Structure 1
Amino acid sequence: MAALPNDVLEEIFSRLSVEELVRTSVLSRAWRRFWQSVPALSLGFGRTLPAAVIDKVLLAHTAPIESLFIHLASGDVYCRMHDDDEEEEEEEEEEEEGARPNHIDGWLALLSRRHPDALTSLRLVQWFMSPHASAAVLSSFRSLTYLSLQDCALPPGGAAVLSSFRSLTYLSLQDCALPPGDLPGDLPLLRTLVLRYLDLESGDQLSGFLSGCPSLEKLRLDTVKIFRPRLLRIPNPKLRSFRAECVPCHSVTFVGGQILQNVLLNLITYDEDEEAVIDLAKFFGNSVLTGTLRIREDRIAHQALATFTSFHFQQLKVLIMHVNWGIMESIHLFHWLVRSAPNLQRLRLKQLNSMYMSSGLKYRFHHQDFEPQVFWNQQSTVRLDKLRTVEMRHSMFIEPQVGFIQFLLARAPVLEKLILVRDDIATSWPEDALEELNRRQEYALEVLNKCHKSSTQTQIQIRAGKMLYKC
């Protein structure tokens, strides 16, 4: 270890917790003060540290700090802890002087006086930004490119301070308390934006922020509550990756003609009283998908599919989605997406479990006049000429699934691998449910063997924790 070059040692030391980092000083005379010069400090590393420890580490560290992560213990937010004998006196001082500056403000001020231009990456957890001291300090970090705030609170105008980071390329705000209508302004170099567990005043507020980020390539919205008006326009022409979970996607519209490479839509919404249905035509606008589409839930406006032009998915390569094989609309949506993606190469399906009754495996199709196998047999014009891999999870070998498998083996001439994964939870079901599952599997195998004769190059696997069948 002692013979390793400094850049390798710095990389190793940057991955250690602060306790382990300081302890390296006793391992070697050459390392006695080496930890004081590493460019990356993680003061938390998955666990909280008391403020006194961080005080000593930062005071002893003399070299420029390029990357800093601080997770402050919740009981150590303020510089002085309440003492039982002085509690009343301190409460009176607080009423006169207002809230005290917290530890993190002092640490950032220390860094701003030493080497402010060296800091490029900053991650803070549980930071309560003071209105006056922080603004001047933060504006000194002109080289900052990565900023992550979690469980933080910003005062009025605090978000505007973040706009002073003109070199910022990554910004993450998670579970932060933002004043109403307060978001950062223009960030011309920002490439990745992550917003999680936030309440926003309106869709226009976020749209205005996005319009000031012309270089944005990745956008993730997770449990973002948007109050009315909810309409969110995404204008960023360079956007390539969009991920939305627990977000009102029915109010989202792409207006920048984006060429999207990765889209994830988890359409479970926080608003249970509203019918959260997404119209794909309005959602994608004039954008095109060229890579991967992931869809969770089937809250799609099925009546709008007829007006949805297929050019959106012409270059789609990977489709990952949840299908409710017991709902006709879900099967229609899945069929429509497959039909609209002639260049599809990989397909991964998961089962929505709402089709099963509480007793276990009792399958109940909700539309008696809809015959799934007949439906798939009628799709003679659909070709999947480039599809090579299909994985179906939670396979119960019910009629809709078997019908699709038959269709797949007949319409995918270059299919190399078909993987059927039985749900592991089936092993804990009642004996009659397992017998029913095994009966369906035997029937499915008979069907697969017949179909497999005309598709000899396809490798078929059935798994339930381990390989059950292979042909």
Structure 2
Amino acid sequence: MPPRGSTKRRRGRGRATEAAAAAAAAADALLSLPPEVLDDILIRVGILDAVRTSALSRAWRRRWEELSSLDLCFSLSGDDEGARKGLGAVDGVLLRCPGRVQRFCADLDNTYAGRIHDWLRVISGRGVEILSLTFGDGFPALPSSVFSCGRITSLSLSGCSIPPLPPGFLGFPELRTLVLTTVRLHDSGEYQLEQIIATSPLLENLQLGDVLFSGGHVKNWVIWAPNLRHLMICSDNNDGWVLKELASLCSAEIAFSDFVLHGDFVKFLSGLVQVSELVLAPFNIPSNVEMLEILLCTFHNLKSLTLLMHFCKQPPIMLALCLLKSAPNLEKLRIEIFDEKEQIFEANGEFLNALWTDGMCANLQVVQMIGITWRPNEMSFIELILSKARLLHTLSISHGEQIVMSNEDALNELLRYKRASAEAQVIFKGKAEKYY
């Protein structure tokens, strides 16, 4: 009789052999699918798993090399060793698989940042459509070969220095999305950016987050994009934007710091009058800034307005009221409150009512106030909305980290406020989750 242990090992090996045979049979059955279906499956599982199919059987050993197009996406978030191995294998993949590169997305640390020049030269010739590159520290220079990607539809760059445009640059004729986050441009880079946007006639989505311009004072430059539908700008400074003929613009997100100090602010807002959705984050408006009581433009299409603000100083309150006066068809108002240490200006009911005009909030139906602290100015604003908005049906409230009175006392006070709409409901949602 053989030893009992050896019998178990033979049985285990037998089961493993049967499982491997079954897997190989299933894999070979997949090969009977039409090539375009099989390509779609391998593209969906990702390039790393597509290469691993080489181990299934002899018939699969080189199947991934026949892919008609490649999606190469490698994110280095956390300790993703798979992404690092994938970046290390890019040269081999591009050499063995001659198919079109549809997408190339990568987080590039110092190890691989130097390889991007050669990769761009290859994938630009392979008709890359979606390109997303995030670099590490130090603003490494982006190779000028990026401007040869003539078929690109989406370009996202972060953490790099963008080189000057090459002579004879004809633009990105198929570009629809341009995202620049924490990038640096050379001297007169504002005009370079103006040219990139102007020579992208199909551009629909433009996002500029903390774009840094070298040199001295930034000159005015034009954002002209007749098909632009969404605009996002985030900056601490007035970076000279001039909005021109954005007839297709539907939504905008604008976060600024000291731009409100400049006289161009009102003119800048007038370039957004066609939007139906607007998000404004006016950070750090000094107390001594004199805000207009009314804007010289009307947002006739605006249906949804989000404000990231506080009620502790006069300027942000005045700005909020100016926007409400200028948006006669507004239906939804969302206010996300970031807390200041103390309320230094009193905006009581008498002050707010003096600024109220006929037609304000005539179509307002939904109000959300997130991160409230129950300070007097916030309470006065809620009372104003409840007493004036005749079509209001929902007022949703959640509080922030620090509150100056108990929720019970605050809600009891709210219940005593008069309501212009018989259908208005006050919904308290407790503590707000992180929202900005």
Identify the TM-score tier after normalising by the shorter chain.
Answer: 0.7 to 0.9
Q: Which residue does the alignment assign to 2:196?
A: 209
Identity of aligned residues (%): 25
Change (3 A) 1:380 1:266: closer
Contact 1:257/1:285, CA 8 A, preserved across alignment: no
Contact 1:258/1:288, CA 8 A, preserved across alignment: no
Contact 1:43/1:54, CA 8 A, preserved across alignment: no
Q: Which residue does the alignment assign to 2:282?
A: 297
* Mean CA deviation greater in 315-324 or 235-244: 235-244
How many angstroms does 1:326 deviate by? 0.9
Change (3 A) 1:442 1:51: closer
Matching residue's letter, 1:215? L
Q: Which residue does the alignment assign to 2:43?
A: 14
Change (3 A) 1:413 1:172: same
Cα distance in 2 for partners of 1:264, 1:65 equals 32
Q: Which residue does the alignment assign to 1:44?
A: 74
Cα distance in 2 for partners of 1:56, 1:182 equals 30
Matching residue's letter, 1:194? V
How many angstroms does 1:294 deviate by? 0.9
Is the aligned partner of 1:317 residue 2:293? Answer: no
Q: Which residue does the alignment assign to 2:314?
A: 328
How many angstroms does 1:214 deviate by? 3.3
Cα distance in 2 for partners of 1:54, 1:33 equals 16
Cα distance in 1 for partners of 2:191, 2:383 equals 48
Change (3 A) 1:150 1:413: same
How many angstroms does 1:403 deviate by? 1.4
Cα distance in 2 for partners of 1:216, 1:437 equals 49
How many angstroms does 1:287 deviate by? 4.8
After superposition, give the CA deviation of every residue in 1:405-426 in whole Å (9 maximum; x if it has no partner): 1221222222222110111x34
How many angstroms does 1:448 deviate by? 2.5
Is the aligned partner of 1:376 residue 2:360? Answer: no
Q: Which residue does the alignment assign to 1:437?
A: 405
Cα distance in 2 for partners of 1:71, 1:245 equals 22
Q: Which residue does the alignment assign to 2:155?
A: 171
Q: Give the secondary structure class of the aligned counterpart of 1:48.
A: helix
Q: Give the secondary structure class of the aligned counterpart of 1:213.
A: coil
Q: Give the secondary structure class of the aligned counterpart of 1:393.
A: strand
How many angstroms does 1:243 deviate by? 0.8
Contact 1:148/1:173, CA 8 A, preserved across alignment: yes
Cα distance in 2 for partners of 1:392, 1:307 equals 23
| CA RMSD in angstroms, aligned pairs only | 3.6
Change (3 A) 1:351 1:32: same
Matching residue's letter, 1:290? V
Q: Which residue does the alignment assign to 1:260?
A: 249
* Mean CA deviation greater in 20-29 or 168-177: 20-29
How many angstroms does 1:244 deviate by? 0.9
Cα distance in 1 for partners of 2:116, 2:317 equals 56
Cα distance in 2 for partners of 1:373, 1:260 equals 36
How many angstroms does 1:380 deviate by? 5.6
Matching residue's letter, 2:70? A
Matching residue's letter, 1:449? L
Contact 2:313/2:343, CA 8 A, preserved across alignment: yes
Contact 1:233/1:254, CA 8 A, preserved across alignment: yes
Cα distance in 2 for partners of 1:10, 1:416 equals 52
Change (3 A) 1:265 1:371: closer
After superposition, give the CA deviation of every residue in 1:183-238 in whole Å (9 maximum; x if it has no partner): 95533333222222222223333323333333322221111122433322222233
Change (3 A) 1:104 1:345: same
* Mean CA deviation greater in 442-451 or 328-337: 442-451
Contact 1:17/1:45, CA 8 A, preserved across alignment: no
Contact 2:74/2:87, CA 8 A, preserved across alignment: no
Cα distance in 2 for partners of 1:222, 1:375 equals 36
How many angstroms does 1:452 deviate by? 6.3
After superposition, give the CA deviation of every residue in 1:144-198 in whole Å (9 maximum; x if it has no partner): 433334338557xx53x54444433322232222346779553333322222222
Cα distance in 1 for partners of 2:227, 2:101 equals 32
Contact 1:244/1:266, CA 8 A, preserved across alignment: yes
Is the aligned partner of 1:365 residue 2:343? Answer: yes
How many angstroms does 1:249 deviate by? 3.6
Cα distance in 1 for partners of 2:65, 2:180 equals 34
Gapped runs of 5+ residues in structure 2? 1-25, 77-82
Partner of residue 413 from structure 2, selected from 435, 440, 447: 447
Q: Which residue does the alignment assign to 2:220?
A: 231
How many angstroms does 1:255 deviate by? 2.4
Matching residue's letter, 2:50? L
* Mean CA deviation greater in 282-291 or 319-328: 282-291
Is the aligned partner of 1:392 residue 2:393? Answer: no
Is the aligned partner of 1:283 residue 2:251? Answer: no
Q: Give the secondary structure class of the aligned counterpart of 2:231.
A: strand
Partner of residue 351 from structure 1, selected from 337, 360, 364: 337
Contact 2:283/2:309, CA 8 A, preserved across alignment: yes
Is the aligned partner of 1:420 residue 2:406? Answer: no
What is the TM-score normalised by the length of structure 2?
0.74
Change (3 A) 1:51 1:189: closer
Instruction: State the aligned residue count.
Output: 386
Contact 1:314/1:341, CA 8 A, preserved across alignment: yes
After superposition, give the CA deviation of every residue in 1:235-265 in whole Å (9 maximum; x if it has no partner): 2233222111125346322122534211111
After superposition, give the CA deviation of every residue in 1:363-388 in whole Å (9 maximum; x if it has no partner): x4323xx4422223342624323222
Is the aligned partner of 1:457 residue 2:419? Answer: no
After superposition, give the CA deviation of every residue in 1:293-336 in whole Å (9 maximum; x if it has no partner): 1111256796463573232x121111111222111121111111
Matching residue's letter, 1:150? T
Change (3 A) 1:108 1:180: closer
